Amino acid sequence: MSVAPPRSRGADFRRSAGLRFASHRLLPLDGDDVAVLADRSTGWCVLTRTDYDAMALHLADGAKTLETTENPAAVIALWEAGLLLADGRPHPGTKRVRKPWPDALLLKLTGACNFDCTYCYDYEPKRFKARLPQERIEELISFLLARQDGLALIFHGGEPLLRFEAIEQTVEFALREAGDDKRVSFSVQTNGSLLTDEIVDFLLRHDFSIGISLDGLTEETNRLRAVRRGRTALGVVHDLLDRYPDLLLTRCGVLAVVSRTSAPGIPDLALWLQEQGIQGFSISFLDLTGRGVDLHEERLEPEEAVEIYRRMIDLVRDGSLGELCFKSLTGRVQNMFTFQPRDLCHKGPCGAGSEFMVVDAYGKLRSCDCIYHPFFELKATEGGVVPHNHVEPARLGIVERHAALRDGSSECGTCSLFGLCGGTCVAKAIAHHGTPQSVDPIECAISKYLYPELLQEFAAGGEMPLFAYYQRHRNVPPELAPEMMPS
């Protein structure tokens, strides 16, 4: 017996006389089942131990073809999951293709903000005054659109709506540059407090996806999202629901930072968002960086972070969480169904290795903005305006870190989940350990909880509530869940 995730059939390998296993790792599941997981792609397959052992023996001694195997179904499943090589080559669909140019550009329009969050990774007194020049924005958009079919523009900050005019000008410019034959999409990550009738109308007209930050349902759980004056973060979201229900229910996802203060209220926040009809919800665990560098007592232990996921998964399993897309879960499940994951973060090497680019409030280029660290600075040499991904040292640094973790002597070097996990977010790893050659302990613990849980559910068959939940949400545009935008 063998089971495998549904994949495209891909190239024909039937004539190959040299089938052998690709590099993989094993995860024992309940009973006699074992998950076979590729370590150079997100491919996986569940076999019985007996079938796996027989296959390993069969493939070990010399040239093998599909015809000579006693278990053609398992061979096909393994091939489609990138777990077999035919004449030394894997299924072409399982080979990672790194894009030469980034196609997601995050614009840090300003370093300023009208909020005063005590954890803000983005706050720095000098940067507070910086404003990204319009000419720089347009130079980058022209350069990137001239080299590919489309571009996703993400407006960020600081608080991006402090510079609404720059957003208007940029959208107009990008649409003009794209013309009829290229695609541009727009999203914005905001605290929501500056939305007005005029801005909402504009965002709806241009099909914006909007991420709004909110950490909980009470003032206490939003304590770290401090404001200088006026409405609180919670007050803002209540007002928005009253004034702009269309926008909130069709275009917005909510992003919550999980700290010791907000953690207990996260499941209730999810249920409340669902009740309101909001479509997307993501969580991000507090990083001790920027203004939040000393908030040690607010950072959860890895087991506590896992407990949040456990509670969210219980809500999915008992049917309480259905309509709301909890992107922090579905993004990881999606990882198991594609060899080229769309999500920038839930894969290895992550988006900072190629397709994601940030231009900061000074106009400098970075591979990610999740923390401000020299590791992420792009040098803009060979490519002119934007450095070519294949020669840029900061891009190669992400790819090399990934390979070093996979092949190294740390736990990732033997962990069966490496192909799916990718060794966690490098920015979070640096924020926690000060070096990229490390992993973020919270994300590591979540991978170790979640992926075995999912693989076990798949192997057991039956109703498969987590996969059914994923299936229900697979068409929700990732932009509706702002985790897609590295914060």
Ligand X SMILES: C[S@@+](CC[C@H](N)C(=O)[O-])C[C@H]1O[C@@H](n2cnc3c(N)ncnc32)[C@H](O)[C@@H]1O
**Residue 269, interface with ligand X (CB under 6 A)?**
no
Residues 69-108 that bind ligand X (CB under 6 A): none
Between CA 156 and CA 164, with CA 162 as vertex, the angle to 5 degrees is 80
**Residue 262, interface with ligand X (CB under 6 A)?**
no
DSSP 89: B
CB of 145 to ligand SF4, least distance (A): 22
**Residue 430, interface with ligand SF4 (CB under 6 A)?**
no
What is the spatial distance between Cα 162 and Cα 164, in angstroms, rounded to a whole number?
A: 6
Size of the site for ligand SF4 (CB under 6 A): 34
For residue 214, which of 180, 189, 247, 237 has the smallest C-alpha distance?
237
**Residue 429, interface with ligand X (CB under 6 A)?**
no
Residue given tokens 């076979």 in the structure block = 36
**Residue 282, interface with ligand SF4 (CB under 6 A)?**
no
Q: Which of 82, 192, 351, 397 binds ligand SF4 (CB under 6 A)?
A: 351
Size of the site for ligand X (CB under 6 A): 21
CB of 439 to ligand SF4, least distance (A): 4
425 binds, among ligand X, ligand SF4, none (CB under 5 to 8 A by kind): ligand SF4
**Residue 486, interface with ligand X (CB under 6 A)?**
no
Cβ proximity to ligand X: between 81 and 199 the closer is 199
**Residue 208, interface with ligand X (CB under 6 A)?**
no
Cβ proximity to ligand SF4: between 221 and 274 the closer is 221
CB of 202 to ligand X, least distance (A): 18
Q: Which of 33, 80, 103, 159 binds ligand SF4 (CB under 6 A)?
A: 159
Q: Which of 270, 359, 417, 450 binds ligand SF4 (CB under 6 A)?
A: 417
C-alpha 8: how far from chain center: 23
Preceding amide of 5 cis, omega within 30: no
Q: Which of 16, 42, 48, 190 binds ligand X (CB under 6 A)?
A: 190
For residue 470, which of 458, 486, 482 has the smallest C-alpha distance?
458
What is the spatial distance between Cα 37 and Cα 206, in angstroms, rounded to a whole number?
A: 42
Under 8 Å between Cβ of 255 and 213: yes
**Residue 158, interface with ligand SF4 (CB under 6 A)?**
yes
270: helix, coil or strand? helix
Cβ proximity to ligand SF4: between 159 and 479 the closer is 159
C-alpha 461: how far from chain center: 27
Residues 6+ apart with CB under 8 A from 51: 1, 2, 71, 74
Long-range contacts of 306-313 (CB under 8 A, 24+ apart): 306/445, 306/446, 306/449, 308/258, 308/263, 308/266, 308/267, 308/283, 309/446, 309/449, 309/450, 310/449, 311/266, 311/267, 312/266, 312/267, 312/270, 313/450, 313/453, 313/466
284 binds, among ligand SF4, ligand X, none (CB under 5 to 8 A by kind): ligand X
CB of 352 to ligand X, least distance (A): 16
Residue 110, CB half-sphere, CA atoms under 13 Å: how many?
17
**Residue 417, interface with ligand X (CB under 6 A)?**
no
Reading the block at residue 177, the tokens are 């540059």
**Residue 122, interface with ligand SF4 (CB under 6 A)?**
yes
Q: Which amino acid is at 213?
A: S
User: Helix (H) and strand (E) counts for the chain?
Assistant: 15, 15
Q: Which of 255, 417, 454, 480 binds ligand X (CB under 6 A)?
A: 255
> Mask: binding to ligand X, 350-369, rule CB under 6 A, as x and -?
--------------------
420 binds, among ligand X, ligand SF4, none (CB under 5 to 8 A by kind): none
Cβ proximity to ligand SF4: between 19 and 27 the closer is 27
Q: Which of 80, 287, 343, 440 binds ligand X (CB under 6 A)?
A: 287
Residues in the chain: 487
Q: Which of 344, 365, 459, 485 binds ligand SF4 (CB under 6 A)?
A: 344
286 binds, among ligand X, ligand SF4, none (CB under 5 to 8 A by kind): ligand X
For residue 421, which of 344, 332, 351 has the smallest C-alpha distance?
332
What is the spatial distance between Cα 63 and Cα 68, in angstroms, rounded to a whole number?
A: 10
**Residue 152, interface with ligand X (CB under 6 A)?**
no
Q: Which amino acid is at 299?
A: R
Residues 6+ apart with CB under 8 A from 105: 140, 141, 144, 151, 152, 153, 154, 357, 358, 359
**Residue 423, interface with ligand SF4 (CB under 6 A)?**
yes
**Residue 189, interface with ligand X (CB under 6 A)?**
yes
**Residue 248, interface with ligand SF4 (CB under 6 A)?**
no
CB of 426 to ligand X, least distance (A): 15
What is the spatial distance between Cα 445 and Cα 483, in angstroms, rounded to a whole number?
A: 18
Residues 157-176 that bind ligand X (CB under 6 A): 157, 159
Residues 106-125 that bind ligand X (CB under 6 A): 113, 119-122
Reading the block at residue 239, the tokens are 């007002």
- List residues binding ligand SF4 (CB under 6 A): 113, 115, 117, 120, 122-123, 157-159, 191, 344-345, 350-352, 356, 368, 370, 411-412, 415, 417-418, 421, 423-427, 439, 444, 447-448, 486
Q: Which stretches of the chain bind ligand X, using CB under 6 A?
A: 113, 119-122, 156-157, 159, 189-191, 213, 255, 257, 284, 286-287, 289-290, 292, 487
